Structure 1
Amino acid sequence: MADLSRRALLRGAGATGVTGALAAMTGCGVPPAYVRAADRAGPDRSAHDPRLTFANWPLYIDVDDHDKQRRPTLAAFERRSGISVTYTEEINDNDEFFGKIGPALMNHQSTGRDLIVMSDWMCARLVRLGWVQEMDRAAQPHVARYLDPQLRTPHFDPGRRHSVPWQSGITGIAYNRRKLGREIRHTSDLWQDDLRGRVTLLSGLDESFAMLMQGDGVDITRWTADDFHRMTDRIRRLVSRGHIRRFTGNDYIKDLDSGDVLAAQAYSGDVIQLQADNPDIEFVVPQEGAELWAESLLIPNLAAHKRTAERLIDYYYEPAVAAELAAWVNYVCPVPAAREVLASSKDKERAALAEDPLIFPDDAMRKRLAIARDITSAERTEFAKEWNGIVGL
């Protein structure tokens, strides 16, 4: 297990300069930014150049206990395939990385990367712009067979033609049951008087809005502008009454652990790590539902090793490999078949992971999970302005 959650890094804080300019341009849907399907692929060097460049977030892959520079699953792929993988942990923020690769993609140039990992809402932007390539599923039999059915049809990429989940997760509620002295089962439970000034919400619009809408009974697969404004009206009133302590990035982890906050909107993977040190912390998928999200693998336009990238993606969908990754990162595994691999482990701690619903959600939990319709480019400017005004950004 990682000593520090990958999501404890700064996420989606917004950017200035080239990133802000690109975001504004693409948010307005400027036609020149769009790349036609016929112009996305370049000469593929996979057959005669056995290497690959893979950009990911920090702390998002298994690491050898004795050699922090060694990543066992990647090393196994290199031995098996003869392919050399240059693995970089250079993605610390969706917008920041968009600003790094955007100028090249906008100008029909290679990014120098064959494989990247982005959050759902950024995947949506890249897919809409035509900045990532469609994958050849015939070359990815494990993805075709083992990808979690609940993750197969996101609104932004029907059929997952351009994206494949690296890991998944749930945005729900974490709380200290012992200190609160009661259970939380509904989103509305956060608004009870005994939590006044002791509850936090996530500051990022894309990270926070879906669960809050679900608390109002909204089907987040088809939410409307009216649903959004009704939710923000509620949150604005709670802020004015001092009920919400603050809006956070991942510093809610520290607040929950110290007891300064008794309940927080939270990510499932973070809570698994918190529970290891504080068993009083519980994670809840509210009865009204919670958002199931993914951070997905994408192949940028003009990637020099597209076929090799597809091969690496498919490798990580082998259940045994997916199980190794899941045992280390502790997010929702997008390969349900990996559960049986972990369950059969002779190591009791690893076998116990197979029973953790925050890694392998059970049927009852899955019924309450949904993938939200993404915020479109036409909606984003207005909605972000409204949300940021409430949060204080």
Structure 2
Amino acid sequence: MPELAFSRRVMLSGIGAAGLSAALAGCGVPAAYVPEERRGGPDRSDRDRSVSFSNWPLYIDTDEEDEERRPTLEAFSERTGIEVVYTEEINDNDEFFGKVSPALMNRQETGHDLVVVSDWMAARFVHLGWAQKMDRSAQPNVAGNLDPQLRSPAFDEGRLHTVPWQSGITGIAYNRRALGREIKSVRDLWAPDLAGRVTLFSGLDESFALLMQGEGVDVTRWTESDFHRMCDRVEAMVRKRHVRRFTGNDYTSDLSRGDVLACQAYSGDAIQLRADNPDIEFVVPEEGGELWAESLLVPNLARHKANAEALIDHYYDPEVAAELAASVNYVCPVPAAREVLAGSDDRETAELAENPLVFPDDEMRGRLAVARDITSVERRAFARRWNGIVGL
């Protein structure tokens, strides 16, 4: 998997987008929330057979001989006659939010019909009323094939405004040979033989759920006291220099070089890490791991909403989902794609069907949870506490 693909979940979230509504209210600016009935605009889909789709870099299938070609997008255009204007302009959740928020706040078009953002950022859009409700009657593949475990996150019950693009797991990666033992639990990270050889994610949204699970918390309904209890544990370990440092994407380099022996990690990265070094293991801890997603949404006043909904539904066809999964190696949000991959004549492709990091088995799914998001009210104080620990 290309290295840039690792960076999507590792942006330090800070206060940024979360404090926007409070900051605007404090300045006397009208509330930014847009009620459902005012989110749509004239849909030009019938007379303008196009759709603009903004995604992260290296997060879609490409032709092996021509990386400018994207076979699944081309197949959609050939089938529907809809031209896809595809851009890879999303490099950071907060940066993109800052780019489109002035228009959305002022109830203006953004020029985007379909975007992919991390679910914690999708939650901001949903809570502000900046994402349109989709027409599921026009999306039979989504209705029938979306992974049940991803169907109803706390921030968007019933997935009315968002649809997962790809999913992933936050767990622990470690060098079993160098460490000389297994890691089975988040608590194992705090063992004396790992002092100074552990890294954690610097981003609040990326790190908090797994660490809370290590404290025995049900992350689907965690509380403020759960958060601070987790922070107390991490702060104590940081002050003891047990935690080597907090990382972004560079955790993969630390682990590969042997500078650290264990770290918070993402399942998508683990497939490439293991391909490069079979001594590296990825584990979903006994207490559980976080199942997260990066999701598609249609911003307010999008000009081609129906075309965007059709493109989303295209990617929930198991054949198309399988082609995408074989390229990006994240958790596929379409379980039915597993059978498609299993029937491939290509051995490596067929093996992906048995990889629990692409298609989690029942045992692994029993330890996965979709964490409730941090609310805008909570975020300012929580980010201050967490960033203070990261900066120690």
**Fold match, TM over 0.5?**
yes
Corresponding position of 1:331: 330
Corresponding position of 1:3: 2
- Does 1:260 find its partner at 2:254? no
Misfit runs of 4+, over 6 Å: none
Corresponding position of 1:210: 209
Cα distance in 2, alignment partners of residues 277 and 63 from structure 1:
22
Unaligned runs of 5+ in 2: none
The one-letter code matched in structure 1 to 2:256 is: D
Change (3 A) 1:237 1:253: same
Q: 1:49-64 maps to which residues of 2 (within 5 A)? A: 49-64=48-63
Cα deviation for residue 68 of structure 1 reads 1.1
Corresponding position of 2:279: 280
Cα deviation for residue 24 of structure 1 reads 2.6
The one-letter code matched in structure 1 to 2:248 is: G
Corresponding position of 2:75: 76
Corresponding position of 2:130: 131
Cα distance in 2, alignment partners of residues 316 and 253 from structure 1:
29
Cα distance in 2, alignment partners of residues 95 and 70 from structure 1:
29
Contact 2:130 2:300 in 1 (8 A): yes
The one-letter code matched in structure 2 to 1:62 is: D
Contact 1:120 1:295 in 2 (8 A): yes
From 17, 21, 24, the equivalent of 1:26 is 21
Secondary structure at the aligned position of 2:272 is classed as helix
Corresponding position of 2:65: 66
Secondary structure at the aligned position of 1:32 is classed as coil
Contact 1:114 1:306 in 2 (8 A): yes
Change (3 A) 1:319 1:66: same
Secondary structure at the aligned position of 1:158 is classed as coil
Cα distance in 1, alignment partners of residues 390 and 200 from structure 2:
9
Corresponding position of 1:222: 221
Corresponding position of 2:344: 345
Corresponding position of 1:300: 299
Q: 1:162-173 maps to which residues of 2 (within 5 A)? A: 162-173=161-172
Cα deviation for residue 12 of structure 1 reads 2.7
The one-letter code matched in structure 2 to 1:24 is: G
Secondary structure at the aligned position of 2:79 is classed as helix
Contact 2:18 2:380 in 1 (8 A): no
- Does 1:251 find its partner at 2:250? yes
Cα deviation for residue 113 of structure 1 reads 0.6
Cα distance in 2, alignment partners of residues 329 and 294 from structure 1:
14
Corresponding position of 1:109: 108
Change (3 A) 1:163 1:9: closer
Contact 1:191 1:243 in 2 (8 A): yes
The one-letter code matched in structure 2 to 1:386 is: R
Secondary structure at the aligned position of 1:237 is classed as helix
- Does 1:119 find its partner at 2:114? no
Cα distance in 2, alignment partners of residues 381 and 69 from structure 1:
41
Cα deviation for residue 120 of structure 1 reads 1.0
Corresponding position of 1:313: 312
Secondary structure at the aligned position of 2:158 is classed as helix
Q: 1:334-373 maps to which residues of 2 (within 5 A)? A: 334-373=333-372
Corresponding position of 1:99: 98
Contact 2:10 2:206 in 1 (8 A): no
Corresponding position of 1:147: 146
Secondary structure at the aligned position of 1:76 is classed as helix
Contact 1:62 1:325 in 2 (8 A): yes
Cα deviation for residue 27 of structure 1 reads 4.8
Cα deviation for residue 38 of structure 1 reads 1.4
Contact 1:11 1:92 in 2 (8 A): no
The one-letter code matched in structure 2 to 1:149 is: P
Secondary structure at the aligned position of 1:160 is classed as coil
How many aligned positions are there? 388
Cα deviation for residue 26 of structure 1 reads 2.1
Cα deviation for residue 23 of structure 1 reads 4.5
Deviations 1:142-198 (A, max 9, x none): 000000000001000000000000000000000011111100001001111111000
Cα distance in 1, alignment partners of residues 57 and 82 from structure 2:
22
Contact 2:202 2:246 in 1 (8 A): yes
Identity of matched residues, %: 68
Cα distance in 2, alignment partners of residues 287 and 391 from structure 1:
26
Cα deviation for residue 9 of structure 1 reads 5.5
